[in-house]
Chains A and B, each alone.
Chain A
């Protein structure tokens, strides 16, 4: 196959991976099956079954697609292994495909999806101003240990995204005020409507913020063994099927590898010439990221500048929308963060009120409140997902 061939094949594949034919069944699958995936180190046996189902799904989808478009496995492979497909941006797009062959990656996608759903549900509740309908507050005090565990993870996620948020904010110093005020706006959609929307649209905007956290909670820290090096085989008896020379390397270094490679941020904006709307002069970088995010989400495979005017506009809108979603989420997280500052000892110094770093834990009352929310989130999630 010719070199230039692979490029259009990649474009086509990327287009497919952004199309409803792919996104809907894959997202459905993940949302339906992610609830059992927690961030515990140990895997449940059921994960394996779900991974197998996922493999079957992806295989079926890709086979159909390839048949339709008329490319064979060899073309598919050549295209996907081309340098173009290996760019960081596209690697993220390919993740759900690679996850068929990589259990660890699959697991991390599922854990992340689960957290996203929980966060979104929390957010919806928060947007409803925290007023809990009577019918939903029953049995709130029954928190299983597992739920408490999940709560801790959620807190961790919120903490991390707060940190990232602060980082981002310090880059956008000039805009701080404005963002702060826009983000407090509440959605006035009916609840079901808005939560649906959230699940479909803010998933990708969250990706960036949750990815790192997720990675952190799963990736075992890199450590080196101070391995007692060779020559200490004292009592270590050895009998083998064949006498083998000792492995020459006395400097054996075994270390833990990150179990999961954290997905990379999209840092190759190709729409660098795009006109910046509004006041974003100091945040080209960020805006471009959003634009690209939108670009990818919308499934356009052409570079931004080659799109029609209406497509460009659509993308700009989409980018603005994503940015807005993200800002809202950040605002929520920031608010929640305030409630929990007592626990966040590694709080960046940018926080308005200095955190009392000596207080070891959040108050019982605070925790109870959070638990209530969490419980609600679970219920809500059930509702939303089953629809």
Chain B
């Protein structure tokens, strides 16, 4: 499970009574990409009352016999410096992109490449959701993959998945990839 903690705290980590496999997933991306919407839809909660995230949200989702603890951290520029504090012990990164917001493709690409270079995310698999595919102006996932130079990633598993957090389309496919990937890794 990610990087091991040191000392006593690592002992405490083992005290938890659960036999269920727990997975820590961090959900990142620019503000307005649809992270919180995605999180809530994963948790089968109402997606119509979402306001911009100032802090962070956590939901636990059971899937494939695992407990996925998903952390959605606010993506506004002023909060992004805090992302680093949430990367430790991460098993998987989900990166969300607003596929219709072409003006910010470059910005989101830069943020992603910075994350990829983070020590705490070394080798951590990444799933990119090309979100908002329900919008007519959305770029296809393949185009986004190219723009992000995903094919140059050699040090980790990655996947880009077109989806709409609002309609739910594609979301489950992404989750299946996650579960496959983690099961493969962890067993």
Contact = CB atoms under 8 A, between A and B. Distances in A.
Interface of A: 41-45, 47-48, 55, 58-59, 62-63, 73, 76-77, 80-81, 86, 91, 94, 97-98, 100-104, 220, 223-225, 227-228, 230, 232-242, 244-247, 249, 252-259
Interface in B142-187: 142, 145, 150, 153, 157-163, 168-170, 172-173, 175-177, 179-181
Interface stretch (B25-33, B57-65, B107-115): B57-65
A253 B44 CA distance: 11
A188 B141 CA distance: 71
Contacts of A247: 64, 176-177, 179-180
Given A77-B14, A101-B9, A254 B54 contact: no
Contacts of B180: 244-245, 247
Contacts of B90: none
A1 to B, nearest CB: 14
B175 A254 contact: yes
Contact of B8 (A63, A232, A255): A63
B79 interface: yes
Interface string B29-64: 000000000000011110000000111111111111
B72 to A, nearest CB: 9
B63 A240 contact: no
A102 B16 contact: yes
Q: Which of A73, A103, A235 has the most CB of B within 10 A?
A: A235
B57 A41 contact: yes
Given A45-B79, A45-B82, A73-B11, A238 B44 contact: no
Nearest to A60: B8
Contacts of A235: 133, 162, 169-170
A248 to B, nearest CB: 9
A377 B122 CA distance: 49
A236 B161 contact: yes
B13 interface: yes
Contacts of B140: 237
Given A98-B12, A228-B168, A256-B45, A238 B82 contact: no
Nearest to A221: B45
B15 A81 contact: yes
A59 B159 contact: no
B61 A240 contact: no
A257 B141 contact: no
B153 A257 contact: no
B168 to A, nearest CB: 7
Given A43-B57, A228-B172, 7 more contacts: A45-B79, A63-B8, A86-B17, A94-B15, A228-B168, A237-B142, A259-B59
Nearest to B20: A257
A272 to B, nearest CB: 25
Contacts of A101: 9, 12-13, 15-16
A43 B175 contact: no
20 contacts: A48-B56, A48-B86, A58-B12, A59-B7, A73-B7, A81-B14, A102-B16, A227-B172, A234-B169, A235-B162, A235-B170, A237-B130, A237-B140, A238-B177, A239-B159, A241-B153, A252-B175, A253-B62, A254-B175, A257-B60
Contact of B64 (A48, A239, A252): A252
A44 B17 contact: no
A55 B141 contact: no
Contacts of B56: 42-43, 45, 48
Contacts of B169: 232, 234-236
A62 B8 contact: yes
A223 B44 CA distance: 7
A45 B55 contact: yes
Contacts of A227: 172
Given A42-B53, A98-B15, A227-B172, A257 B67 contact: yes
Contacts of B179: 247
B157 A59 contact: no
Nearest to A81: B15
B85 interface: yes
Contacts of A258: 60
A234 B2 CA distance: 34
B59 A220 contact: yes
A98 B9 contact: no
B11 A77 contact: yes
A240 B172 contact: no
